[in-house]
Structure 1
Amino acid sequence: MGIFSRMTDIINSNLTSLLDKAEDPKKMIRMMIQEMEETLVEVRSSSARVIADRKTTGRRLERMRTEATEWENKAMLAIGKGREDLARAALSEKQQIEKEIDVVDQELLVLDEHLEHLNEEVGQLQTKLNDAKAKQKAMLLRQSSVESRIRVKRQNHKAALDDAFEKFERFERRVDNLEGQLESMDVGMETKEDLKSQIDALADDDSINDELSRLKEKMTKTN
């Protein structure tokens, strides 16, 4: 693609529309900025060559005009000396140079129009480049802002989770305390119950033994 067709494509492009369609807008705008900067360098180099050509052509035009004036002066001198033949020859040279001057004038007009066109397109391209850089800056600021907000939200979520776990642990400790209080009420009770049961068992044994002895005695008497 030629430099001027590429520049025209860039100038006529809609940055916002292109970025909306891009899979990676950051990468695309970075590439666009690089493309614009490279194109600007090439266009300015072309402008520099045109400016140099115009200066060269302008100097040639001045020399030709000076030469035409000199031939006119020579014709006037020849007329003054009565040499009309030489005056005619001098005027012929002058007319030839004037024809060349007309051609060079047209060349200068073309160069001037070319430069004016280049300047307009460079200005448009520079505006486009500034717009792209502004969008890139805004995009980076938005990214930084979003990342900061995400970090804050993560910290808030973490704090909320930590707070929830802390409340849950406090509730568990409260239940543990209640269970401890309940279990503390039974401390020592098991030992007392065991002792009472053993003593009662001894009393029961004595009662059974007495009853057994009575039955044995009764049976003996019966026999």
Structure 2
Amino acid sequence: MGIFTRMSNMIKAKVNDTLDEMEDPVELLDQKLRDMDEQFNKAKLSSAQILGNVHEIEKKLELAKKESEDYDQKVKLALSKGNEDLAKRALAKKVETDKKVSSLQASYDNSKTQAETLKANLRALEEEITKTRNYRDEAAARFANAEASQKVNEVLANVQTKSNSIQIDSIERKIQRKESLAQGLGELRDLDNFDSEFEKLDEVDLDLELAKYKTNS
């Protein structure tokens, strides 16, 4: 199990242990992000050190290879001059340097592989942090909406309880009674007007009656 897998499992375990203890899940996600950022920075520092070692080994390897080539040229030069003893000593140096090259090459390959693995893990962790941060923002919005909806529903539930409910049917009956009363009063007023018209017909025209008296006298 790699270091990042263990680190991820530790964070998940901490999240699971804390989940039931924290009322606000956004605070939990914020804490998780802080933990992930801390682990990422530590891993990045370790990776930088390993990458530094890789570059250092690479420089030593290049120097050793160049030194081996130099001894190879010296062996050839000594042989061309007929000095086998000098050629033999140069060859011994080359053999020793080649062993050093082999050792450095193995160290370089191992460190290079380790560095590449660490860089891949760092990229994966960085992507995980980005996804977690995006989810945190989404979760914060959803949690805020849920809280707002809960408060609205609590208010509505309180308004709609029996003790606070408004009896719509009762109000409707009162309005209808009021409307019926107003309609009845209107009809009575129209009846009064109707009777008044007939009463006017029965009224005596005094001027007409006086004229009749004048004619008969």
Report the AA paired with residue 45 of structure 1: L
Cα distance, 1:17–1:81 mapped onto 2, change above 3 Å: closer
The alignment covers a number of residue pairs equal to: 169
Partner of 1:66: 66
1:91 Cα deviation (Å)? 0.9
Partner of 1:129: 129
1:19–1:29: 8 Å Cα contact kept in structure 2?
no
Partner of 1:96: 96
The partner residue of 2:8 within 7, 11, 15 is: 11
Partner of 1:147: 147
Report the AA paired with residue 83 of structure 1: N
1:148 Cα deviation (Å)? 2.7
Distance 1:17 1:57 in 2: 39
How does 1:152-167 map onto structure 2 within 5 Å? 152-153=152-153
Q: Secondary structure in 2 aligned to 1:82? A: coil
Report the AA paired with residue 59 of structure 1: K
Distance 2:136 2:76 in 1: 70
How does 1:107-126 map onto structure 2 within 5 Å? 107-126=107-126
Tell me the C-alpha RMSD between the 2 structures.
3.4
Cα distance, 1:165–1:126 mapped onto 2, change above 3 Å: same
Report the AA paired with residue 11 of structure 1: S
Distance 2:48 2:106 in 1: 20
Distance 1:16 1:59 in 2: 43
Cα distance, 1:63–1:122 mapped onto 2, change above 3 Å: same
Q: TM-score, normalised by structure 1?
A: 0.62
1:15–1:132: 8 Å Cα contact kept in structure 2?
no
Cα distance, 1:59–1:148 mapped onto 2, change above 3 Å: same
1:155 Cα deviation (Å)? 5.9
1:18 Cα deviation (Å)? 4.7
Partner of 1:22: 19
1:158 Cα deviation (Å)? 7.5
* CA offset digits 1:84-129 (Å, max 9, x no partner): 1101111110110000000000100110121122123223322332
1:11 Cα deviation (Å)? 3.2
1:36–1:129: 8 Å Cα contact kept in structure 2?
yes
Q: TM-score, normalised by structure 2?
A: 0.64
Q: Secondary structure in 1 aligned to 2:82? A: coil
1:51–1:115: 8 Å Cα contact kept in structure 2?
yes
User: Which deviates further from its counterpart, 35-44 or 134-143?
Assistant: 134-143
Distance 2:125 2:144 in 1: 28
Report the AA paired with residue 57 of structure 1: I
Cα distance, 1:94–1:16 mapped onto 2, change above 3 Å: closer
Structure 1 residue runs of 5 or longer lacking an equivalent are 178-223
Distance 2:63 2:14 in 1: 54
